Amino acid sequence: MGFFTDTSVCIGCKACEVACKEWNLVPASGSSGDGGMDLLGLSYDNTGDLGANSWRHVAFIEQQVPASRVDNLGMPTIGAPEQEDEAGVRWLMSSDVCKHCTHAACLDVCPTGALFRTEFDTVVVQPDICNGCGYCVPACPYGVIEKREDDGRAFKCTLCYDRIGDGLEPACAKACPTDSIQYGELDVLRQRAEQRKQELHADGVTEARLYGENPDDGVGGTGAFFLLLDEPEVYGLPPDPVVTTRDLPGMWRRAGAAALGVAAAVVASFVGARR
């Protein structure tokens, strides 16, 4: 099970952010320490990024384009002649979330078993088992998971594990008024996403692309993938994410071989000394 986020119909209402916080009792964001909102100066974005207190983050990207290429909804106007002397703004909005990777590095490095994979193939943190070591934080290739400053433990999206276990939609998907966030079986969502991409291409929005739906990518595919209207970097997403623990087996093998070599040298030196 997972999420498909169609950014082409996101209106930036932040209903998903609010629903996530209310259902999961996530504290209010705010680096000022008073739990209030931050005025970041980044368009209408007041949460900044995903973190321990922001399990959903609505990004607002404003792009300067010729006015003739922008319609009333902030989308590119198809077939309109460009007028370079008139400036316009193209709005790109997207609700980001933990990707629930197939090959999840946070799972690999957690020493206590606080992170586990559920029967829905999602990745969840158990706060009562987390010891606050923080190993999972740098392990995440998307920079999603974070430790809560006043608590010390790591937190992130659970894909509303308690709700989906009872057959309910995650709170963010339930609250989304445009169905930008869709929840369901990943195979069904991938088919739906591909159809939506083809529709946009047919309408002239050739920059539409899918991100995270490929099971052969560097993290084995994600449980939360997106339809984007620009390059992933524009949305703050890594273009080619790779599971950060990919090279660990080889590193351990090389370290083991080196240790055996040192041990053999020590034994040989003792044997030679006795002779």
> What are 202-226's pLDDT values in tens digits?
999 899 999 998 878 878 889 999 9
Same domain, 93 and 216: yes
Same domain, 121 and 65: yes
Same domain, 94 and 193: yes
DSSP 61: E
Same domain, 151 and 209: yes
117-163 pLDDT, tens digit per residue, is 999 999 999 999 999 999 999 999 999 999 998 889 999 999 999 99
CB 139 within 8 A of CB 147: no
- As a whole-number percent, the residues of the chain with pLDDT over 70 amount to 76
The reported pTM is 0.76
Same domain, 269 and 172: no
Tell me which of 34 and 274 has the higher pLDDT.
274
d(CA 27, CA 175): 19
2-25 pLDDT, tens digit per residue, is 999 999 999 999 999 999 999 999
Count of domains for the chain: 2
The mean of the pLDDT values for the chain is: 83
What is the DSSP pairing of strand 224-228 with strand 2-6? Answer: parallel
Is the pLDDT assigned to residue 249 strictly greater than 90? no
The DSSP string of 17-37 is HHHHHHHHTPPPP-TTSSS--
Q: Which residues have CB under 8 Å from 66's CB, separation 6+? A: 82, 83, 84, 86, 87, 88
d(CA 228, CA 210): 6
Reduce the DSSP state of residue 189 to 3 states and report it: helix
164-181 pLDDT, tens digit per residue, is 999 999 999 999 999 999
Same domain, 89 and 202: yes
Same domain, 61 and 166: yes
CB 2 within 8 A of CB 222: yes
Task: Identify the domain containing residue 26 by its residue range.
Answer: 2-244
> Hey, what amino acid is at 231?
E
